[in-house]
Amino acid sequence: MGRRRQAKAGSQSSASAHAGVWEVETGTVELVPDDLAPGAWTVLVNGVPSSHIDPARPERLDFEYMRWMAEVLRMYVPAHLDPQRLRLLHLGGGACSMARWVAQEWPAARQVVVELDGRLVELVREWFDLPRAPLLRIRAGEARAVTESLTESSREVVIRDVFAGAVTPEPLTTLEFTRQVERVLTPEGIYLLNVGDHRDLRGTREELAALRSVFEHTAAVADPAMLKGRRRGNVVLAASHRPLPETGSPEAAAMTRSLLIDAVPAQYKDAAWTRRLTGTVAPRLDPPSSEEAGTRH
């Protein structure tokens, strides 16, 4: 989910992509041509914009929250990770827009995209020229189950961008799931989340409570109206065991400059801000298992 920037571009259309609606396992997927960028497409899943892809320009990210994630990664990867040895896990993939951007930015990166709908996976491969395995593998499966099946310390970056309609499934927002992500990440790794939230930022607070319980450092990126509670929208959260820029540092200043000139100007908020925002809000927890529930009676 995200707002599109208004920009014109010229590119060639993907050979097998054409406008239409297809039935998939979870409903329908629709390809809509981008009238501002010839050759580019918006992918709608059950009527909700899920991805935007410009086959000729993988560096172009049309959804603002993806550009914000890209800014965080441009800051974090050179500081803490080896670009030649990156391993990324994308939870939620759609048309793999973010994975294509990573492949353009760091060509040696190896990526796995987890997408619930197996038929959508097939269509995306058919429509668009995506990097092939082992550089990019698309795995059909449920994001939490796949994460729990992965080897400890096997990824440098985990990106969560999973929605059922306008909401992230609750099992992907709990403290227990956050611990699973931390297990899969290397000690130097970073976890990026796209949080769709209401004006009260309650969901953001709960997610930050989970992140701050597991990781040493947290940060956030969003546009000012969202941060002031004036509308519903997207907040990008970041968590790691390695330092994230603090307000006043050269790194934070550089990110702030880049974010402010974006088509949707945004602000970077450091750990102190995320701590104040979280306050006394508790993280979401998994519901008790049947055995645990039974012992309480």
pLDDT tens profile 201-224: 999 999 999 999 999 999 999 999
Quote the pLDDT of residue 10: 35
Give a yes or no: residue 133 inside a domain: yes
Q: Is residue 203 part of a domain?
A: yes
Q: Residue 76 and residue 70: Cα distance in Å, rounded?
A: 10
> Does residue 35 belong to any structural domain of this protein?
no
Q: Which range is least confidently modeled, 140-149, 192-201, 226-235, 249-258?
A: 226-235
Judge whether 15 lies within some domain: no
Which structural domain, as residue segments, surrounds residue 121?
61-281
For residue 220, is it within any domain? yes
pLDDT at 4 over 50: no
Residue pair 104/58 in contact (Cβ under 8 Å)? The answer is yes
Confidence band (pLDDT; 50, 70, 90) for 171? very high
Task: Kindly give the residue spans of alpha helices, DSSP state H, lying in the chain.
Answer: 64-80, 97-105, 118-127, 143-149, 175-184, 202-214, 224-227, 250-260, 271-278, 290-295
Is the pLDDT at 12 greater than 60? The verdict is no
Looking at residues 272-296, what average pLDDT do you find? Answer: 86
Q: Which of 262, 181, 177 is nearest to 221 (CA)?
A: 262
262 has a pLDDT exceeding 90? yes
Per-chain mean pLDDT for the chain: 91
DSSP assignment letter at 216: S
Q: How far apart are CA 156 and CA 189, in angstroms?
A: 4
Query: Per-residue pLDDT for 278 more than 50?
Result: yes
Q: Which of 152, 185, 145, 150 is nearest to 169 (CA)?
A: 145
Residue 198 has pLDDT above 80, yes or no: yes
Asked if residues 200 and 231 have their Cβ atoms less than 8 Å apart, the reply is no
Number of structural domains the chain divides into: 1
| Sheet of 20-24, strand order | 20-24, 27-33, 41-45, 48-53
pLDDT, average across residues 239-253: 96
Q: Percentage of the chain surpassing pLDDT 70?
A: 92
Q: What is the pLDDT confidence band of residue 164, given thresholds at 50, 70 and 90?
A: confident
pLDDT in tens, 33-43: 999 888 999 99
Residue 166, pLDDT > 90, answer no
In a domain, 198, yes or no: yes
Residue 94 scores a pLDDT above 90: no
In a domain, 12, yes or no: no
pLDDT at position 14: 52
Residue 159 belongs to some domain of the structure: yes
Bigger pLDDT: 286 or 93? 286
pLDDT at 296 over 90: no
Q: What is the identity of the amino acid at 174?
A: T
pLDDT at 269: 97
- Confidence tier at 255 by pLDDT (50, 70, 90): very high
Distance CA 24, CA 117 (A): 7
pLDDT at 16: 79
HSE-CB for 148 with a 13 A CA cutoff? 9
What is the length of the chain? Answer: 297
Task: Give the CATH number for residue 96.
Answer: 3.40.50.150
